[in-house]
């Protein structure tokens, strides 16, 4: 079984690192975010009836 040269290990590491970074950034920017006002309104409309 032939062994790979260190240069090809380095190029593989760089290639996988670049694809990981690109995938992470695209996934981060594709998430639809809502303004904080709408989230606060949803939370505040939940009635809290604590009867202990």
pLDDT tens column, 14-45: 999 999 999 999 998 888 777 666 555 555 55
pLDDT-based confidence at residue 2 (cuts at 50, 70, 90): low
Say if residue 1's pLDDT is above 50. no
Dihedral, CA of residue 7, residue 10, residue 11 and residue 13, to nearest 10: 160
Confidence at residue 21, expressed as pLDDT on a 0 to 100 scale: 97
29 sits in which H/E element: helix 6-30
């Amino acid at each position: 079984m032939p062994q790979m040269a260190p240069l090809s290990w380095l190029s593989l590491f760089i290639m996988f690192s670049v694809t990981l970074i690109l995938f992470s950034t695209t996934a981060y920017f594709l998430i639809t975010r809502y303004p904080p006002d709408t989230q606060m309104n949803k939370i505040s409309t939940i009635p809290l009836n604590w009867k202990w």
